[in-house]
Structure 1
């Protein structure tokens, strides 16, 4: 048990843990010096982290950002990037989030070209549980109405720093941490004034943990995770080669958006037993980000004249005419 607990530390805890965190308009960024954080008991530390993570989910209910996503495939050399094997399409996204609804527009660029070659727009109305999407290239355009999300949205790894349910709730970092709060192992200080948080790693396709997820958090930036390393292993019941997966991220730059520090330049890395010879990376650079500016009209998906539409809900298809254009 710690020998000294100073009154001003308890004042900080009361300020940060109580109802002020739910009043976004009056928020100040969560920030606490590491020496004060280490004076808190285990329950207070855990409570402070949870409030910071919950605030991030609230913050993401109204968010707009623009991001460049660059997929690069390297040879896996002892879990480090080796020779570049492939540069995939550059994807430039504009993403509007409003509650559980969203719209994401994507411009697709071939690695050696400066002009986009494909344009994709995806939207989801959470209240009606309807998704709409359009695809356009230099030869054709089409659209779709459905009940399910378009899988292409999950190629934007930045969404997993926000909130959502597709392709699985546990893919979203802060939702995962909140759901695994009973497993919190907190160590501080580490890495020159930072906080280390460890939880079990249980991918959504498994029924039990198979490793650990270790994150380094910055207490001066609302406990923003600045790097993370997750490793999962599972023995096969048929005696075959073990299955494994490694996920890492590194945050190089962050920005204060409203009262929440957001990563704006980062790299994600993935390795797995399904393709052990490669290391897949996504370089992420947010070029614009705003909080509280999204309106319902921003989420509309426009079907334009001549576009071929498949309505999977009604089981029909049609071509949009000048008289029946729809959103």
Structure 2
């Protein structure tokens, strides 16, 4: 049985995708299958024209390319197959690669869900194209999670691509005010975060147990499609915490993250801020206490359609809760701790 499936969502990041794949294949000994889901990247050379493709089992608006023979790969690489030349090169260079091409940008959550649904691995590595893993990253995560059935997801230490002495993520933290951030983000790495359980892990390079994903899914969604992008990994971790799953951090598995490569233009930055603001409230409605919902009634009024959808999802989540709310919120820390940590660890 194939133990690991790797899912990469691509949106205008083709130029750096090869670096990500090179690091993954070079530094991984455990066999895996790879799914690349493209969200209608602007540089694709042919729209709605495909080399022999199979329909996706789960989405009629997407196409999936799989199991090409040598002749097929050469045809793609020459451009006659009318699919983006970069993906043709990937299909030629690497084995066991599958592509899903969406007709429009469906968002990260939707696209990674497609990859999870199509893949067969017992574990699923969500990997951003702007991440480069070091030797043994995936092997280490696989060994740890496979040894403890209570671990639902596991991640290593993510360092900044621009400053390799600076932390990008050492797990995720949620504050008492319900703002979430990557633990250690922009702190100088002095090995201040030790191996152990965390509230959540960054989906840029997290290995998820499929059993956990199936346990927390809503309407055939693992990550919430309504989030589109940002905080969907925190939301999934929150749901998993209510079901008693552990999230785990391993500091000796190291990867480098460039962060937000596909959304650096001003308009995209504004959208990113909006999604982060909105999705915080969506998380609260779905997962938090009734008191928190009452406190945030103004948001429900501003975004009634999304709020109603979240209330419906909330009913399902709360009905299946195994861990009391008071136990989950023990993970939440005072926001003042954020400022203290930044002062203590910045070089």
- Structure with higher Rg: it is 1
- What TM-score results when the alignment is normalised by the length of structure 2? 0.25
More strand by share: 1
More helix by share: 2
